[in-house]
Chains A and B, each alone.
Chain A
Amino acid sequence: MIPPAGPILAVRGLAKSFTLHLHGGAQLPVVTGVSFELFPGECVVLGGPSGAGKSSILKMIYGNYLAGAGEILIRHEGAPVNIAAADPQTILAVRRRTMGYVSQFLRVIPRVPTLDLIAEPALAVGLSRAEAMARATALLTLVNLPERLWHLPPSTFSGGEQQRVNIARGFAGNHNFLILDEPTASLDAANRDAVISLINARKADGAAFLGIFHDQDVRDRLADRIIDVSTFAPAAKKAA
């Protein structure tokens, strides 16, 4: 449980621009001056049109994209870590214990059974095999994945089933801060509801969420605040 006071994430003056060396060094400005805070128990949604840089912001916060400028401060085990300047070992420790990521697509090692995939993040934070398996089973039940699929690798599952495996895996580490990049895009209404309850339950426990949801209904039911990313457009992008 994390203390309710103080943000778990503080982003200050974050900027990103891609340099395309294979295309004559062309500059592709994405965002600039991104500043906001995220508090425990809160779900903040990034809004704005496609191409506004929502995903790029999430990826910088996770350390997956290199920040061009600015700070990304995450409260990790009681002390702030600046992801924009941290070394790889520190970023990996933050990912193991504090910050999780649920992407739109499942990307895992082939031929590993679903249960093992879900248990992996739980094992990584030090749970015993039995505890990790119990957590994996509980999560797969919560996301309504049929039990006959649990011992199979997910490569042949439907889009919606894979997405639910992805969500269960994302929640298995019990992180205080979860990044959600369109995790409900290919789910039907019933399964969307299941995922929303899962997120709300973790929020009530004090976990913080930062996400992108295109579905208006999902957004309305989850978002405490919406940040319009188009206000962070660089001048060069505004002109274009």
Chain B
Amino acid sequence: MTKPLLIADGLTKRYGAVTACDKVSFSLDEGEVLAIVGESGSGKSTLLNMLACRLAPDMGEVRYRMRDAETRNLAGLSEAERRLLMRTDWGFVHQDAAQGLRMNVSAGGNIGERLMAVGGRNYGGIRQAAADWLSRVEIDTARMDHKPTTYSGGMRQRLQIARNLVTSPRLVFMDEPTGGLDVSVQARLLDLIRGLVADMGLAVVLVTHDLAVARLLSHRILVMKNGHVIETGLTDRVLDDPQAPYTQLLVSSVLAA
């Protein structure tokens, strides 16, 4: 058995009297997709930001198995080490693509920038990699030199995914990746994400309030409410046979289309 890729150990965050996240612990294996679900204010985004080193926990720690197979406490990394990790081995897909892209840089530049950040210097090679990734996320390479401002919402999201995956990360954090998109665009994006995750063997921590998205993409679910983990388990088990009162409420509140 290989060791877990990511371990959250007692992660706690308070904002004044409000506990946004209370002693959350779990581990994630390589290639595993974990969905964190719950309504707004449940603490799921706070948890995601602590996991991804974007927010310091008040208590607890995150440990990660680095590419050299050593598991390290992320709080103990130097700023340079952490930046390298975020640029190479990790990805972060924001709900609002504008947060994850440079809107006044061309699509090709957006992808190439991540390669240059890890030492890519060959212009032709970088441009080729950018073109390959654009076609992989189903964007016409003729649009390569256009800025994302000229892209539709769905295209921007696909570009953001390409930018994140070009360095072949092992772990990607996703914050409502299909939120705010038209339903038709959502289905296509979900299928794309699912294919890429399977092909690349990515581990994913996915935050979503959409249980259908969690069902389609994730292996495991963590249900959160008021900063606490209410229930966790195999995705279809949690959704089809929820045990906790809150999970039963959540599942039964979804309108069947």
Contacts and interface: CB of A to CB of B under 8 A. Distances in A.
Interface stretch (B47-55, B72-80, B130-138, B230-238): B230-238
Tell me the dominant secondary structure on chain A's binding face. Answer: mixed
B58 interface: no
B223 to A, nearest CB: 13
Contacts of B194: 109
A20 B241 CA distance: 11
Interface in B134-159: none
B219 A92 contact: yes
B191 A66 contact: no
Contact of B237 (A21, A22, A66): A66
B234 A110 contact: no
A22 B216 CA distance: 26
A92 B234 contact: yes
Nearest to B219: A92
B25 interface: no
A5 B232 CA distance: 37
Interface stretch (A57-65, A138-146, A178-186): A57-65
A50 B240 CA distance: 19
Interface stretch (B83-91, B102-110, B167-175, B244-252): B244-252
A216 interface: no
Contacts of B225: none
Nearest to A108: B216
B234 A109 contact: no
A98 B114 CA distance: 41
Contacts of B187: 109-111
A22 B220 contact: no
Nearest to B190: A109
Contacts of A158: none
Contact of A91 (B198, B234, B244, B252): B234
A110 B241 CA distance: 24
A179 to B, nearest CB: 13
A204 interface: no
Most buried by A among B216, B234, B240: B234
A110 B182 CA distance: 14
Given A64-B240, A88-B233, A109 B249 contact: no
B128 interface: no
A111 B240 contact: no
A2 interface: no
Contact of A109 (B32, B216, B240, B248): B216
Interface string A213-235: 00000000000000000000000
Contacts of A22: 245, 248-249, 252
B33 to A, nearest CB: 10
A201 interface: no
B186 to A, nearest CB: 9
B188 interface: yes
Given A88-B234, A89-B32, A112 B191 contact: yes
Interface of A: 18-22, 59, 63-66, 88-89, 91-92, 109-112, 123-124
17 contacts: A18-B241, A19-B243, A21-B244, A21-B248, A21-B249, A63-B234, A64-B234, A64-B236, A64-B240, A65-B241, A66-B233, A66-B243, A88-B233, A109-B187, A109-B190, A109-B191, A123-B198
Closest 7 CB pairs of A and B: A21-B245, A88-B234, A110-B187, A65-B241, A88-B220, A21-B248, A111-B187
Interface of B: 29, 32, 187-188, 190-191, 194, 198, 216, 219-220, 233-234, 236-237, 240-241, 243-245, 248-249, 252
